[in-house]
Structure 1
Amino acid sequence: MRYFIPTLLLCGLTQLLHAQQADTTRLSEVVVTAYPGNQSLVSLPASAAVLSQRQLQLQPGVTLVPALNTVPGIRMEERSPGSYRLSIRGSLLRSPFGIRNVKIYMDEMPLTDAGGNSYLNLADPGGIGSIEVLKGPDGSLFGANSGGVVLLRPFASEDTGSVTLGLQGGSYGAFQERAGWNAQWGKVTSRIYQAWQQSDGYRDNSRMRRLYLQSLQQWRYNERNSLKLLAFYSDLGYRTPGGLNAAQAAADPRAARPATPTLPGAETQKAGIYNRTFQAGLVHEAAFTPFLKHVVSVSGATTHFENPFITNYEARDENSGAVRTYLSLHDKNIGSTYYDWNVGLEWQQTGTDIINYGNRAGKRDTVQAADKITARQQFYFTRFTFRFPFKLTLEAAASLNYFRYHFSNDSTATQTRRFSPQLMPRVALSYRLTPFTALRASVSRGYSPPATAEVRASDNVINTALQAENGWNYELGFRASDAAGLFWLDASVFQYRLEDAIVRRLRDDGTEFFANAGGTKQNGLEIQGHAWLLRPSAHRWIRGIQLSEAWTFSDFSFRDYKSGADDFSGKQLTGVPRHVLVSGLLLQFPADVYLFAQHNYTEKLPLNDANTAFADSYHLLQAKAGWRFRNITIYAGADNLLNEYYSLGNDLNALGQRYFNPAPERNYYAGVSFRW
Structure 2
Amino acid sequence: MKIFRPFLFIFFTTTLVAQEVQLDSVTQLDEVIVLEDAVPKKATGITASSIVGPSTFEKFNPVDIASAINQISGVYILSGALNTNRITIRGVGARTPFGTDKLRLYFNGIPVTNGTGSSTIEAFDFENLGAVEVIKGPKGTTFGGNLGGAVLLNTLPSETNLTRISNSFTIGSYNMLKDNLSFSHQEKNFNLRLSYNHLETDGFRQNNGLTRDGVLLNTNFNLNAKSELGILINYIDFRAHIPSSLNQTDFSENPRLAAANWLAARGFEDNKYTLTGLYHNWQITDKFKNTTSIFYTYLDHYEPRPFNILDEITNGYGFRSLFEGNWGTFNYSFGGELYKDEYEWSTYRNLFRDNDGDGSLQGNQLSQNKEFRTQLNLFGTLMYPFTEDFSVQLGLGFNQTDYDFRDLFNTGDENTSAERNFDPILLPSVGLQYQFEKGQLYANASRGFSNPSLEETLTPDGIINPDIAQETGMSYELGGQWRPIGRKLSLGLALYHMNINNLLVAQRVGEDQFIGRNAGETRHQGLELDAKYILRLSETLVLSPYLSYTLNDHSFVDFVDEDNDFSGNPLTGVPKHRVSSGLTVHHTNGFRLNLTHQFVDEIPLTDANTLRSESFNVFHAKLNYRSQLGDHFSLGLNVGINNLFNTNYAQSVLINAVGFGGSLPRYFYPGNGRNYYGGLRLGYSL
Using a 3 Å threshold, how does the CA distance of structure 1 residues 461 and 642 change in structure 2: closer, same or farther?
farther
- 1:593 has 2:584 as partner: no
TM-score, length of structure 1 as denominator length: 0.92
State how 1:658-669 maps to structure 2 within 5 Å.
Answer: 658-669=666-677
In 2, Cα distance between equivalents of 1:317 and 1:276: 10
Using a 3 Å threshold, how does the CA distance of structure 1 residues 9 and 122 change in structure 2: closer, same or farther?
closer
Give the drift of 1:456. 4.2
Determine helix, strand or coil for the equivalent of 1:249. Answer: helix
Query: Which one of the candidate residues 296, 312, 322 is aligned to 1:326?
Result: 322
Determine helix, strand or coil for the equivalent of 1:611. Answer: coil
- Conserved? CA contact 1:544–1:589, under 8 Å: yes
- Conserved? CA contact 2:95–2:655, under 8 Å: no
Using a 3 Å threshold, how does the CA distance of structure 1 residues 669 and 31 change in structure 2: closer, same or farther?
closer
Would you say how many aligned residue pairs link Structure 1 and Structure 2? 653
Determine helix, strand or coil for the equivalent of 1:454. Answer: helix
Residue equivalent to 1:262:
none
In 2, Cα distance between equivalents of 1:175 and 1:460: 42
- Conserved? CA contact 1:369–1:460, under 8 Å: no
Query: Which one of the candidate residues 649, 656, 662 is aligned to 1:646?
Result: 649
- 1:562 has 2:560 as partner: yes
Using a 3 Å threshold, how does the CA distance of structure 1 residues 102 and 628 change in structure 2: closer, same or farther?
same
Query: Which one of the candidate residues 406, 411, 421 is aligned to 2:424?
Result: 421
TM-score, length of structure 2 as denominator length: 0.91
In 2, Cα distance between equivalents of 1:6 and 1:185: 47
Determine helix, strand or coil for the equivalent of 1:126. Answer: helix
Give the drift of 1:385. 1.1
Determine helix, strand or coil for the equivalent of 1:560. Answer: strand
- 1:184 has 2:182 as partner: no
In 1, Cα distance between equivalents of 2:296 and 2:47: 33
In 2, Cα distance between equivalents of 1:618 and 1:459: 40
In 2, Cα distance between equivalents of 1:485 and 1:222: 39
Using a 3 Å threshold, how does the CA distance of structure 1 residues 453 and 582 change in structure 2: closer, same or farther?
same
Residue equivalent to 2:122:
121
Offset from partner CA, 1:361-397 (integer Å, 9 cap, x none) = 2232111121111110102110011123251021100
Using a 3 Å threshold, how does the CA distance of structure 1 residues 10 and 286 change in structure 2: closer, same or farther?
farther
- Conserved? CA contact 2:168–2:680, under 8 Å: yes
Query: Which one of the candidate residues 266, 282, 288 is aligned to 2:284?
Result: 288
Give the drift of 1:250. 2.4
Residue equivalent to 1:473:
475
Residue equivalent to 1:311:
307
Give the drift of 1:339. 2.5
- 1:487 has 2:492 as partner: no
Offset from partner CA, 1:239-267 (integer Å, 9 cap, x none) = 11122111122232111112xxxxxx111
Determine helix, strand or coil for the equivalent of 1:465. Answer: coil
- Conserved? CA contact 1:10–1:530, under 8 Å: no
- 1:298 has 2:306 as partner: no
Using a 3 Å threshold, how does the CA distance of structure 1 residues 525 and 204 change in structure 2: closer, same or farther?
same
Determine helix, strand or coil for the equivalent of 1:427. Answer: strand
Offset from partner CA, 1:613-667 (integer Å, 9 cap, x none) = 1110000000100111221100000111011111101121111221012222111
Determine helix, strand or coil for the equivalent of 1:661. Answer: strand
Superposed CA RMSD: 2.2
State how 1:20-169 maps to structure 2 within 5 Å.
Answer: 20-24=22-26, 25-26=29-30, 27=33, 32-35=40-43, 44-46=46-48, 48-158=49-159, 160-169=162-171
- 1:339 has 2:330 as partner: yes
Determine helix, strand or coil for the equivalent of 2:251. Answer: helix
The ranges of structure 1 where at least 4 consecutive aligned residues each deviate by more than 6 angstroms after the TM superposition are: none
Residue equivalent to 2:569:
571
Using a 3 Å threshold, how does the CA distance of structure 1 residues 93 and 131 change in structure 2: closer, same or farther?
closer
2:349 maps to amino acid:
G
- Conserved? CA contact 1:117–1:452, under 8 Å: no
In 1, Cα distance between equivalents of 2:9 and 2:226: 45
Determine helix, strand or coil for the equivalent of 1:61. Answer: coil
Give the drift of 1:34. 1.8
Using a 3 Å threshold, how does the CA distance of structure 1 residues 11 and 520 change in structure 2: closer, same or farther?
farther
- Conserved? CA contact 1:291–1:329, under 8 Å: yes
Q: Which stretch shifts more, 551-560 or 445-454? A: 445-454
In 2, Cα distance between equivalents of 1:143 and 1:552: 25
Determine helix, strand or coil for the equivalent of 1:649. Answer: strand
In 2, Cα distance between equivalents of 1:641 and 1:498: 39
Offset from partner CA, 1:290-342 (integer Å, 9 cap, x none) = 22101111001111112211211111110001111121104x53xxxx32100
In 1, Cα distance between equivalents of 2:422 and 2:155: 34
In 2, Cα distance between equivalents of 1:315 and 1:454: 20
State how 1:251-290 maps to structure 2 within 5 Å.
Answer: 251-258=253-260, 265-290=261-286
Residue equivalent to 1:221:
223
In 1, Cα distance between equivalents of 2:228 and 2:81: 41
Residue equivalent to 1:674:
682
State how 1:271-670 maps to structure 2 within 5 Å.
Answer: 271-330=267-326, 332-333=327-328, 338-361=329-352, 362-410=360-408, 411=410, 412=415, 414-432=417-435, 434-456=436-458, 460-481=462-483, 484-509=486-511, 511-534=513-536, 539-540=539-540, 543-630=541-628, 631-656=634-659, 657-670=665-678
Q: Which stretch shifts more, 642-651 or 616-625? A: 642-651
Give the drift of 1:454. 3.5
In 1, Cα distance between equivalents of 2:669 and 2:511: 21
In 1, Cα distance between equivalents of 2:491 and 2:648: 32
In 2, Cα distance between equivalents of 1:157 and 1:501: 44
Determine helix, strand or coil for the equivalent of 1:129. Answer: strand
- Conserved? CA contact 1:586–1:594, under 8 Å: yes
- Conserved? CA contact 2:106–2:152, under 8 Å: yes
Report sequence identity in percent.
Answer: 25
Q: Which stretch shifts more, 615-624 or 79-88? A: 79-88
In 1, Cα distance between equivalents of 2:17 and 2:381: 39
Using a 3 Å threshold, how does the CA distance of structure 1 residues 580 and 523 change in structure 2: closer, same or farther?
same
Using a 3 Å threshold, how does the CA distance of structure 1 residues 429 and 77 change in structure 2: closer, same or farther?
same
In 2, Cα distance between equivalents of 1:558 and 1:85: 21
Using a 3 Å threshold, how does the CA distance of structure 1 residues 632 and 458 change in structure 2: closer, same or farther?
farther
1:372 maps to amino acid:
K
In 2, Cα distance between equivalents of 1:156 and 1:529: 28
Determine helix, strand or coil for the equivalent of 1:221. Answer: strand
Q: Which stretch shifts more, 163-172 or 48-57? A: 48-57
Determine helix, strand or coil for the equivalent of 1:66. Answer: helix
In 1, Cα distance between equivalents of 2:487 and 2:222: 33
Give the drift of 1:23. 4.0
- Conserved? CA contact 2:158–2:193, under 8 Å: no
In 1, Cα distance between equivalents of 2:470 and 2:366: 28
In 1, Cα distance between equivalents of 2:481 and 2:572: 31
In 1, Cα distance between equivalents of 2:135 and 2:458: 29
